[in-house]
Structure 1
C-alpha cells in the first residue's frame, strides 16, 4: 500500500507560496491599486517609466485631488474605474511600442 500524503497541507502551502510570488514586484515597477472608493479595487504592477506618461500623470493628478498629496502608506490608489484604467494602460502600452528606441517593460501586466 502507498503511504498517504496530506494533499490539503500541500495545496494550502502551495497556494501561500504562489500568493507570495504574486506580491513580488519586479525591479523597475511599482504596485498600485485602482478603483473608486466602495468598489472592489484591483492591484496592478506598472513600470516606473510609465509614471512619466501624460495619461498616467493625469491619473496621478486625479489621485492627488481625491486623496491629497500625503499618503498613509501602502500602495498608491488611482480613483477611477478599473475598465477605464485598463483602457489608459493599453494606450500607454501602445505608445511605448511605437517608440523604436525602447522596448516596453515586461512587468506591465494585463
Structure 2
C-alpha cells in the first residue's frame, strides 16, 4: 500500500497521483495520495482551509490544523476508512 503511505518529501513536485499540503505552525510539507480527496473528512478539512485562508494561498494548500491532528486524520484515511 505504498500509495496510501504519507510521505514527507523535500522535492518541489509531488509524484503522480499525489499532492502537497502544508500543516501546522511550521508549515511542514506532506505529500499525500489524491484518493484522500474522496473522503468526507478530508473534504471538510479543505473547506475549513478555504474558509480560513481563501483560495489565493499562492498555489499552496495550507491546512488549518496542527501536525498531530493531521497525522491522526491521514492515518485513519490510510487505513482504508
State the TM-score, normalized to the length of structure 1: 0.59
- In structure 1, runs of 5+ residues without a counterpart are 1-20, 97-110
Greater per-residue helix proportion: 1
Per-residue Cα deviation, 1:45-85 (whole angstroms, up to 9, x for no partner): 011111111111111011011012x2242320001000000
The reply on whether 1:62 has 2:48 as its aligned counterpart is yes
Structure showing greater Rg: 1
Q: How many residues align?
A: 72
Relative to structure 1, the CA distance from residue 22 to residue 63 in structure 2 (aligned partners, 3 Å threshold; closer, same or farther) is same
4+ residue stretches of structure 1 with deviation over 6 A? none
- Residue number among 9, 25, 37 corresponding to 2:14 in the alignment: 25
State the TM-score, normalized to the length of structure 2: 0.78
RMSD (Å) for aligned C-alpha atoms:
1.6
Q: Which has the higher contact order (CA 8 A, sep 6+)?
A: 2
